[in-house]
Chains A and B, each alone.
Chain A
Amino acid sequence: MSKEIVKEEAPSSSGVAPAESPAFASLRGLQWRINLGILPPSSSIDDLRRVTADSRRRYAGLRRQLLVDPHVPKDGTSNSPNLVMDNPLSQNPDSTWSQFFRNAELEKMVNQDLSRLYPEHESYFQTPGCQGMLRRILLLWCLRHPECGYRQGMHELLAPLLYVLHVDVERLSEVRKLYEDQFIDKFDGFPFEENGGPCNFDFKKFSDSGEDEIGSQGNSKKVCSLDELDPEIQAIVLLSDAYGAEGELGIVLSEKFMEHDAYCMFDALMIGARGSVAMADFFASSPAAESQSGLPPVIEASAALYYLLSIVGSSLHTHLVELGVEPQYFALRWLRVLFGREFSLQNLLFIWDEIFSEDNSPLDKVSEDSDHFSFKLLNSCRGALIAAMAVSMILYLRSSLLATETATSCLQRLLKFPESINLKKLLEKAKSLQILALESNKTPLSSAFGGAYNCTKSQMSSPNVPSVLVSPNTALSPLPDTYWEEKWRVLHKAEELRQNSSGKDTPSPSGKKRWAERVKFGLSRTESCPSPAREEKCKRDSHSVRRTLLEDLSKQLGLEEDAEKGGCFEASNLEDHHSVEVQGEGQNCAIKESLCTTENRCENRSGAVVCEENSSFFPDPPSPPGCGINDHENDTEKSSVASNLSVDDNDDLQRRSPEDSPHRVSLPPEDVSPSPLPENESSGKTSSTKERRNLSGKFQWFWKFGRSNVEETSDKRGGTNEAAKPPIHDGNRSTADSSATTASSNPHPISKGDTMDQNKMGTLKNLGQAMLDHIQVLESVFQQDQGQVGLLDNLSKNILVGKGQVTAVTALKELRKISNLLSEM
């Protein structure tokens, strides 16, 4: 609370109230009058008084003019009034009686609302004096502005204004009691007696009066001069001096003129006083004249709210939009009454303090031919704060809103704002959002306009209004994203990347990323219904399996990417989230998934290898050590045992592959594989290299089959290889598909080779060895992951954790394939 008197302040620019320390913080009524523009912000007490007096005069004149008493002859001119016009039944709209009846109509409507005003504070608001004042003010305002008329809710805007004036007057009376001597108008006890003067000073009388004062107050001290008082008290005294400028009419805190002041405040609030936010607009039902969107202003303002929300909390925004919760359902009440119905009176006063202290001047000219769409509401600091307040309220209810599934329950929660709230937090949040809102309104909206506002065709027809889209791609996100928002973001990035990189023949890391992203895009359809996808995964259908595996893969990839991004946000939270999420998944159907995914990985690897190698011939695969065929379920257990072995094997694979393959695929694996990478490195590379290793291994295995069989099979394989090759350029996914077809088509040539029984045993052996291969690959992956994740107890959990998931998954899938093959044979 500032201790400065207004006249000592440095003169600031007109229209801007001093924001740091308001001069009359304890006198809300006065402060609001300054903020609303009725009183000049920084000037002498005298000026304040003069302006107050002027505004009161205007109101009194208005009252005389509009509140007609038909009995009283107008202006005294009509001695013989034209009774044909001026009789009560006259149909003539100009007659005083018609006016009288119109007023009566209006009054009836107003009375209906007033009787229900603030029942919880009825000790003040339901008193006849207060009601009468409210009624008159509303009537007069509506008569003055016939285009607006009276709408329900105006009384709720007016009531707190009157209340703060009332509080001010009470404060004044308190001060009066304390410092009665300052207000005293009695000069009877003045020491100068007529008979004798100072010599005959009547000490007794003086002491009596002194005692009286002391007796009555108890804490009033000796008579002190005006300048010794608190500056604030000083101001109050000066403002209320009956002999100051303009006399009694200029007493700024006056009970007698409360009605006049309240009317001025109400008028300023409704009209907006050259500002951007005019409450009267919110009551209008037709679009404003210069509106860009052609919507009624309150609808447009509600849209502004949703726009701001979409920037700040996109998940909540999309959730609300999906449910079909249009913003005006709740925002109408919020905006029209400036949150009057959502908060208790005291809280509301604090909120209005903040709102009114903001400047209301429009920030930029809203011109017809502006090249971007800007919201009128966000066009001023005050409007931006109002919007920000509303959005912070929505965000306050965020968790409960996200939990609801129906529009009605959402609306219920929004319309019944909780009673006990941390108002300070809300206001702080609102302030931070306000800056954001102002920013966002300046930048042109290329593609963003919150939600599906198809309410008017005019919106669509106007070329300036941006088209409807789900949510903007702005980079502003002051709040940390939740898991799902992250996913969404990643998804969108994936889309962009995909569009950027389609057709490029890039090395596997980005290629894998691309493919993964495309898969993730497919994932978006299934994200919201994880259980059906899970069921799908458990099916033994290769197609669905493949799709779900791809999704799984993508999810893991996405998680890996998200894990990278975790550094930017609250990393630990997210990672825990991820790991928990994934572990949960893993636990559910770890085994089956792992089985399924091995197939996928085989495809991946073969695809990647095909991508890079041009030759259709492949090096001799290492002879895998023989192992049991049906070891799928034992994978996890084995992995712990044979982990070291697998690492070596992988190295073997790699070493062999450079020997055999004349191309560069081997080089990256050599570089990357030996060193276990920390988690925050580009995970994609490691997994891709592992993939590549496995893929090369798989291809070797296939090649083995080809060799062991007759040329037919090799031809067929070659054919399938060639078939695999053309789709290379479509990207890895199709190669994965083609390799899948390769894999699936492989059994057929092999089965056709049944004629050669002696090769069967060899192939079986090879199969077994290949299986062991893959198991070892898995183990190696787990080995690497173990160090990073730190979960050692149940390796089944480890299956889907960390970067090695991809390779592990692929290996397991391949094992699955092998089992299929064997079953067919």
Chain B
Amino acid sequence: MVLVLALGDLHIPHRAADLPPKFKSMLVPGKIQHIICTGNLCIKEVQDYLKTLCPDLHITRGEYDEETRYPETKTLTIGQFKLGLCHGHQVIPWGDLDSLAMLQRQLDVDILVTGHTHQFTAYKHEGGVVINPGSATGAYSSITYDVNPSFVLMDIDGLRVVVYVYELIDGEVKVDKIDFKKTTATTHSAH
């Protein structure tokens, strides 16, 4: 029963001032066990804020991050699932599923979380899941200005993961969920 928060592309303070208040009220410390952040926070204060929500924080480097020492990619194992994290600007074309699948195979993860497009997407692909949490602040991207703030909460429970998507559409929080079951338990050998 592990709750993992996935978010990114906040672009604070350059493109957005802060998280939307409705999101902020939902994010209280104590409920979430892990936070994975795709990148582009951009300043240290945001990292500190995220740290208050949960001490276990994983961040990969986005192109506008002021902290240069974040890694490009990261992998971690939570429960029976292997998670992969990358900002996504390295994967070209941006947001392309096949390219992302290549990265997933490369990292050998069940769940790949990337960002950069500021659009929420979630694909089930080749026995794994590729998730893009979008932009938590709704900051404009290189591609478009029409961005809804969104983030993702994963509930990992044994061989099952439930993905809750929180989106702020027209000032209201909308929640959706996706179920995903893993067929085999994680082994240490590749595949």
Given contacts A71-B157, A71-B162, A87 and B177 within 8 Å (CB-CB): yes
Interface pair B177/A89, CB less than 8 Å apart: no
* Per-position 1/0 for A502-521, Cβ under 8 A of B: 00000000000000000000
Given contacts A71-B162, A83-B164, A101-B31, A88 and B155 within 8 Å (CB-CB): yes
Interface pair A87/B153, CB less than 8 Å apart: yes
A614 at the interface (CB under 8 A from B): no
B26: A residues at CB distance < 8 A: 89-91
Query: How far apart sit A88 and B156, CA to CA, in the bound complex (Å)?
Result: 12
Given contacts A71-B157, A101-B31, A87 and B164 within 8 Å (CB-CB): yes
A84: B residues at CB distance < 8 A: 173-175
Query: How far apart sit A287 and B157, CA to CA, in the bound complex (Å)?
Result: 45
B81 at the interface (CB under 8 A from A): no
Q: Which has the most chain B C-beta neighbours within 10 Å: A83, A84, A88, A91?
A: A88
Interface pair B31/A88, CB less than 8 Å apart: yes
Interface pair B177/A83, CB less than 8 Å apart: yes
* Per-position 1/0 for B133-177, Cβ under 8 A of A: 000000000000000000001010100101010100000011111
| CB closest chain-A residue, reference B27 | A89
Interface pair B162/A83, CB less than 8 Å apart: no
B155: A residues at CB distance < 8 A: 71, 88
B177: A residues at CB distance < 8 A: 83, 87
B25: A residues at CB distance < 8 A: 91
| CB closest chain-A residue, reference B176 | A83
| CB closest chain-B residue, reference A100 | B1
Partner of A88, one of B3, B160, B176: B3
Query: How far apart sit A87 and B26, CA to CA, in the bound complex (Å)?
Result: 10
Given contacts A71-B162, A83-B164, A89 and B176 within 8 Å (CB-CB): no
Interface size band for B: 10 to 19
Distance between B81 CB and nearest chain A CB, rounded to angstroms: 16
A101: B residues at CB distance < 8 A: 30-31
Distance between B182 CB and nearest chain A CB, rounded to angstroms: 15
How many residues of chain A get a CB closer than 8 Å to chain B's CBs?
9
Interface pair B175/A87, CB less than 8 Å apart: yes
Within 8 A of B (CB), among A47-89: 71, 83-84, 87-89
Interface pair B153/A89, CB less than 8 Å apart: yes
Query: How far apart sit A101 and B1, CA to CA, in the bound complex (Å)?
Result: 11
* Per-position 1/0 for A84-110, Cβ under 8 A of B: 100111110000000001000000000
B160: A residues at CB distance < 8 A: 71
Give the A-B contact count at a CB cut-off of 8 A: 33
Within 8 A of B (CB), among A100-131: 101
Query: How far apart sit A91 and B28, CA to CA, in the bound complex (Å)?
Result: 9
B31: A residues at CB distance < 8 A: 88-89, 101
* Per-position 1/0 for B19-30, Cβ under 8 A of A: 000000111101
Within 8 A of A (CB), among B9-45: 25-28, 30-31
Query: How far apart sit A91 and B22, CA to CA, in the bound complex (Å)?
Result: 11
Distance between A100 CB and nearest chain B CB, rounded to angstroms: 8
Query: How far apart sit A743 and B77, CA to CA, in the bound complex (Å)?
Result: 106
B166: A residues at CB distance < 8 A: 87, 89
Distance between B163 CB and nearest chain A CB, rounded to angstroms: 11
Distance between B100 CB and nearest chain A CB, rounded to angstroms: 26
Q: Which has the most chain B C-beta neighbours within 10 Å: A71, A84, A89, A91?
A: A89
B157: A residues at CB distance < 8 A: 71
Distance between A101 CB and nearest chain B CB, rounded to angstroms: 6
Query: How far apart sit A87 and B23, CA to CA, in the bound complex (Å)?
Result: 13
Query: How far apart sit A93 and B173, CA to CA, in the bound complex (Å)?
Result: 17
B173: A residues at CB distance < 8 A: 84
Distance between B124 CB and nearest chain A CB, rounded to angstroms: 19
B30: A residues at CB distance < 8 A: 101
Query: How far apart sit A87 and B165, CA to CA, in the bound complex (Å)?
Result: 10
Query: How far apart sit A131 and B153, CA to CA, in the bound complex (Å)?
Result: 32
Within 8 A of B (CB), among A391-410: none
| CB closest chain-A residue, reference B26 | A89
Distance between B98 CB and nearest chain A CB, rounded to angstroms: 31
Query: How far apart sit A83 and B160, CA to CA, in the bound complex (Å)?
Result: 18
Query: How far apart sit A87 and B166, CA to CA, in the bound complex (Å)?
Result: 9
A89: B residues at CB distance < 8 A: 26-28, 31, 153, 164, 166
B164: A residues at CB distance < 8 A: 83, 87-89
A87: B residues at CB distance < 8 A: 153, 164, 166, 175, 177
Within 8 A of B (CB), among A469-515: none
| CB closest chain-B residue, reference A90 | B26
Distance between A139 CB and nearest chain B CB, rounded to angstroms: 16
Query: How far apart sit A71 and B176, CA to CA, in the bound complex (Å)?
Result: 15
Query: How far apart sit A90 and B31, CA to CA, in the bound complex (Å)?
Result: 11
B162: A residues at CB distance < 8 A: 71
Query: How far apart sit A253 and B155, CA to CA, in the bound complex (Å)?
Result: 41
Distance between A74 CB and nearest chain B CB, rounded to angstroms: 16
Distance between A82 CB and nearest chain B CB, rounded to angstroms: 9
Query: How far apart sit A441 and B88, CA to CA, in the bound complex (Å)?
Result: 80
B27: A residues at CB distance < 8 A: 89
A83: B residues at CB distance < 8 A: 164, 175-177
Distance between B138 CB and nearest chain A CB, rounded to angstroms: 18
Query: How far apart sit A83 and B178, CA to CA, in the bound complex (Å)?
Result: 11
Q: Which has the most chain B C-beta neighbours within 10 Å: A71, A83, A87, A91?
A: A87
Query: How far apart sit A83 and B155, CA to CA, in the bound complex (Å)?
Result: 14
| CB closest chain-A residue, reference B162 | A71
Distance between B150 CB and nearest chain A CB, rounded to angstroms: 13
User: Other CB < 8 Å A-B pairs besides A83-B176, A87-B177, A89-B28, 8 of them?
Assistant: A71-B157, A71-B162, A84-B174, A88-B153, A89-B26, A89-B27, A89-B153, A91-B26
Can you give 23 A-B contacts (C-beta < 8 A)? A71-B155, A71-B162, A83-B164, A83-B176, A83-B177, A84-B173, A84-B174, A87-B153, A87-B164, A87-B166, A87-B175, A87-B177, A88-B3, A88-B31, A88-B153, A88-B155, A89-B26, A89-B27, A89-B164, A90-B26, A91-B26, A101-B30, A101-B31
The 5 closest A-B pairs by CB, nearest first: A83-B175, A89-B26, A87-B175, A87-B164, A84-B175
